[in-house]
Structure formats: C-alpha cells, structure tokens
Amino acid sequence: MKKIGSYMAIFGVLAIVLNFFDRVPSLLMWIYSWGDTTAWIIKIGLVVVGAILFFMGSKAEPESE
C-alpha cells in the first residue's frame, strides 16, 4: 500500500504543478470536462488519499532490527 500511495501522491502533486505550466498529463485530461473546480478536487483528493495510503502502509510494515 505504501508504494501505491506514494505513486498516487506524486502523480497528484505533479498534476497540480504541471497545471500551472499548462501541461496536463494525458491520463488526467478527462477530469477537465467537468470544470476546473472538479479537476482541483480530484487532484487534491489524489494527494490526500495517496498520503493516507502511504502512512497506513508504513505503519503496517513490521520493523526489522
């Protein structure tokens, strides 16, 4: 889960940053058909859910000594 969460968070942050340079990833072009507000909600949701999965996955791993 940690790996999937980190990919989701990185992809969300990358989508937010690239939006400022008018370079939207082709995988996320469909979210703009609903408008800018919905696109922002989806991108921020990617970051938040990715961070939650990342931290839940790191707590679930056993600590090796």
pLDDT, residue 1, reads 83
Q: Write down the pTM of the prediction.
A: 0.79
pLDDT, residue 57, reads 82
DSSP per-residue codes, 1-65: -HHHHHHHHHHHHHHHHHHHTT---GGGGGGGGG-HHHHHHHHHHHHHHHHHHHHHHHHHSPPP-
pLDDT, residue 48, reads 96
pLDDT, residue 38, reads 92
pLDDT digits (tens, 9 = 90+) for 5-62: 999 999 999 989 998 998 877 777 888 889 989 999 999 999 999 999 999 987 766 6
Residue 65 reports pLDDT greater than 90 = no
